[in-house]
Structures are given as C-alpha cells and as structure tokens.
Amino acid sequence: MKRLIGLFLSWATMAALNLPGVVHAAPAIVIKFSHVVDENTPKGLAALEFKRLVEERTRGKVRVEVYPNSSLYKDKEELEALQLGAVQMLAPSLAKFGYLGMRDFEVFDLPYIFPNRRVLKAVTEGPIGRELLNQLEDRGILGLAYWDNGFKVMSANTPLLHPEDLKGKRMRIQPSRVLEAQMESLGATPIPLAFSDVYTALETGLADGTENPPSNLYSKNMHKVQKYVTVTNHGYLGYAVIVNRKFWTSLPADLRATLERCMVDATKRNNEESVRLNAEALEKVKAAGTSVVTQLTPAQREEWRKALEPVQRKMEGRINKTLIERIRKTAANEQYSYAR
Ligand code: LMR
C-alpha cells in the first residue's frame, strides 16, 4: 500500500511539474462564444445548448466558453474581435451586420415585412437566408445558422397606442439605417446605442423608449424603467450565428462535422423555444406590475402597419430591391399572425 501511495505521489508531482514521462491529453480546442444578452433568453439558452452538445459529443476535445451579457465585448467590438480571431463564434442580431457594411441583412428590420413566422422561416431556412449568409465569406466569416428571438414590442413612459404617440420621443434603436428610418417616419428621434447601454439610457432619460422582443426587455429589467409596453409586433429580431472562417476551416473535418450537427440541433431547440420564452417573458412583465402591457386590436395594428409600411419602399435604395420583392412575394396572401 505504502509503495502504491508513493508511486501515486511521484506521478502527481511529475504531472504537476509538467515533467517528461507524463502523457498529457491533447489540449482542448476552445471556441469563445461572445454575446450581449442575458443567459435566460432564446439566444442565451441556445448558446448554452450548443456548448453542452459540443462538449458531450466531442468528449471534451472541443470546449465552448460562452460569454453572455457583453462580458467580453459589446456589439461592435465583438464583430471586430471575430474578424481578428480573438473570439471564434458570435450570434449578432441581424440589424448589426451593417457594422460589416452588409446592408442586405437590414431587410430583416423592415417593419411588417414578415406577416407571420411561416414567412420568416421560409426566408431564413430557404435560399434567401443561405444567399445572405454566403455574402459573409468576403469578410472572413462563415454563417452557420439563423437563431430566432421574436417580434418586437414598443415601450416608453407614456402610452404608445397609436403611431402618433411616438412623436417627439427619443427612441433607442439598434444601429440600423432601417430602424432609424422607421423611428423617423413616426416623428421620433432614433438613438442608436449598444445593447449594454440601453437600461442606463432608459433609467437616466437619455432615451424615452425602445423596442425589443419581451425576452430582452424583461431579462434586462427595462420594464422597471418603462411604464408602458405595447405589443406592436411591428418588426423582427433574430440572429445569424457566425464563425471566423479561418478558424472553422482549420478544424479537423470530423470534428467540424460534429460541431455542425450540434449547431443544427441547438438551432432546432432555439426555434422551438423562442416563442414560449417570449410569451413567458411578457407574462413576467405583466406580473411585475411596473408597466401597463397593451395588446393592439386588429384595427390598431392596421394603423401601425399603414404608418410603417412605407419604410419598405424608402429603403429600396439601400437594400437590394429584388431581395425585398422576393420576400414580399413569399408573404403575398399571408395573414398577419404572430402567435406562433
Ligand atoms: C439589441 O441590441 O437590442 C438586441 O439586438 C440585442 C440582442 O442581441 O438581442
């Protein structure tokens, strides 16, 4: 027994000192995955699911380090970090690809372009979605998947029932020209800010209001500093999961194939759960009792749609017109319905 203990101790010492004679397992490949939202959101949970699947299926050969809540980088910085290889994976909202000079992604920001989720899915899971992701290759980036969040609500400290209610308001937006045009068309002043700065902007009055799906609103406590929330569903917020191309293509082919299957499964889970997570977040906002939550009647929604739809034409000079028309064609004859 003494001999055995002695043997173990000398092995442990050699290992600790990193001495020759000790076989070390190959160091794990590390994927740093940076994002800006809370963990308990559709994107936050999908990132954790991807990590879980990868570490389990590669038996630890690949480690995924997820950095939520802008803990590593803010919106713009994370895109720079990805291109420089300081992080390997991100899932920026589609509105943020303007930072890379990729205007066509702003098509997702056009108000009322998607009458329902069926149309949205036909776009993200069909040829249009793939063609957009392919455009990223010129930037040293590969697009792996689209992750869903949801349709946006509007919030402020005064009621926002009609489009005119936004007149004169300072509204925080994501940095997108389409969202700028959207707020301007309502007579509001758009304030583009990084996501990590939104709560403080609302709390201090730098911005009067904002727009986001309920999951982002609730998880960042925006409802505590916004007295009115209106479920307008006027626009969409989703993500593209992207990787540094050099990193991804340098992975051994079998590992890459495993990671790609993990991405397919994490994406499926995200898309199945995003509607539920947003519905739950909206219920939690109501239960918190700090904001009045209003659902629009069909007649009120028509008012918002009429006020905002012209932004689609206005943006034809910025976003590829054929792309907008292809989406409109997919949406033709579809009913407005955001419930699932
Ligand atoms: C925002 O900046 O409002 C959102 O895009 C954040 C996110 O990634 O969902």
CA distance 64 to 35: 13
CA distance 335 to 17: 68
Asked if residues 161 and 231 have their Cβ atoms less than 8 Å apart, the reply is: no
User: From ligand 1's centre to the CA of 159, what distance in Å?
Assistant: 23
Structure-token match 């392919």, residue found: 134
Locate the ligand 1 atom nearest the alpha carbon of residue 211 and give its number.
3
User: From ligand 1's centre to the CA of 158, what distance in Å?
Assistant: 23
Report the residue among 66, 70, 75, 148 best suited for mutation to probe ligand 1: largest number of ligand atoms under 8 A from its CB. 75
- Looking at residue 17, what is its pLDDT? 44
Report the residue among 105, 151, 199, 212 best suited for mutation to probe ligand 1: largest number of ligand atoms under 8 A from its CB. 212
Residue 268, amino acid: K
CA distance 60 to 256: 14
- Looking at residue 27, what is its pLDDT? 75
CA distance 164 to 156: 13
Residue of 114, 107, 148, 111 lying closest to 335 (CA atoms): 114
Locate the ligand 1 atom nearest the alpha carbon of residue 210 and give its number.
3
- Looking at residue 340, what is its pLDDT? 53
- Which tokens sit at 114? 């998607």
Beta-carbon contacts of residue 70 (< 8 Å; ≥ 6 apart): 36, 194, 195, 196
CA distance 125 to 118: 10
User: From ligand 1's centre to the CA of 302, what distance in Å?
Assistant: 26
Q: pTM for this structure?
A: 0.91
User: From ligand 1's centre to the CA of 92, what distance in Å?
Assistant: 7
Q: Whose CA is closest to atom 6 on ligand 1?
A: 195
- Pairing of the two strands 170-173 and 189-192: parallel
- Which tokens sit at 128? 């249009």
User: From ligand 1's centre to the CA of 37, what distance in Å?
Assistant: 7
Provide the residue ranges of all domains of the chain, joining segments of one domain with +.
27-339
CA distance 336 to 115: 4
Q: Whose CA is closest to atom 2 on ligand 1?
A: 195
C-alpha radius of gyration, the chain, whole number: 23
Residue of 173, 167, 177 lying closest to 190 (CA atoms): 173
- Looking at residue 14, what is its pLDDT? 42
CA distance 270 to 18: 42
User: From ligand 1's centre to the CA of 201, what distance in Å?
Assistant: 15
- Looking at residue 118, what is its pLDDT? 94
CA distance 46 to 79: 19
Which architecture characterizes domain 27-339 according to CATH?
3-Layer(aba) Sandwich (3.40)
Locate the ligand 1 atom nearest the alpha carbon of residue 216 and give its number.
9
- Provide the 10 A C-beta neighbour count for residue 231: 17
Residue 278, amino acid: N
Q: Whose CA is closest to atom 1 on ligand 1?
A: 195
Q: Please, how many CA atoms are within 13 Å of residue 22, restricted to the half-sphere of its CB?
A: 13
Report the residue among 106, 195, 200, 219 best suited for mutation to probe ligand 1: largest number of ligand atoms under 8 A from its CB. 195
Based on the number of CB atoms within 10 Å of its own CB, is 44 exposed (0-12), middle (13-18) or buried (19 or more)?
A: buried
∠ Cα 145 148 153 (to 5°):
150
User: From ligand 1's centre to the CA of 33, what distance in Å?
Assistant: 16
Ligand 1 neighbours, Cβ below 6 Å, are 36-37, 43, 93, 149, 174, 195, 212, 216, 237
Q: What is the mean pLDDT of each run of 10 residues along the chain (340 residues)?
A: 44 44 71 98 98 97 98 96 97 96 96 95 97 96 98 98 98 97 98 98 98 98 98 97 98 97 97 96 98 95 95 95 96 81
Asked if residues 213 and 151 have their Cβ atoms less than 8 Å apart, the reply is: yes
User: From ligand 1's centre to the CA of 174, what distance in Å?
Assistant: 7
- Which tokens sit at 317? 């000079």
User: From ligand 1's centre to the CA of 188, what distance in Å?
Assistant: 20
Q: Whose CA is closest to atom 5 on ligand 1?
A: 93
User: From ligand 1's centre to the CA of 137, what distance in Å?
Assistant: 23
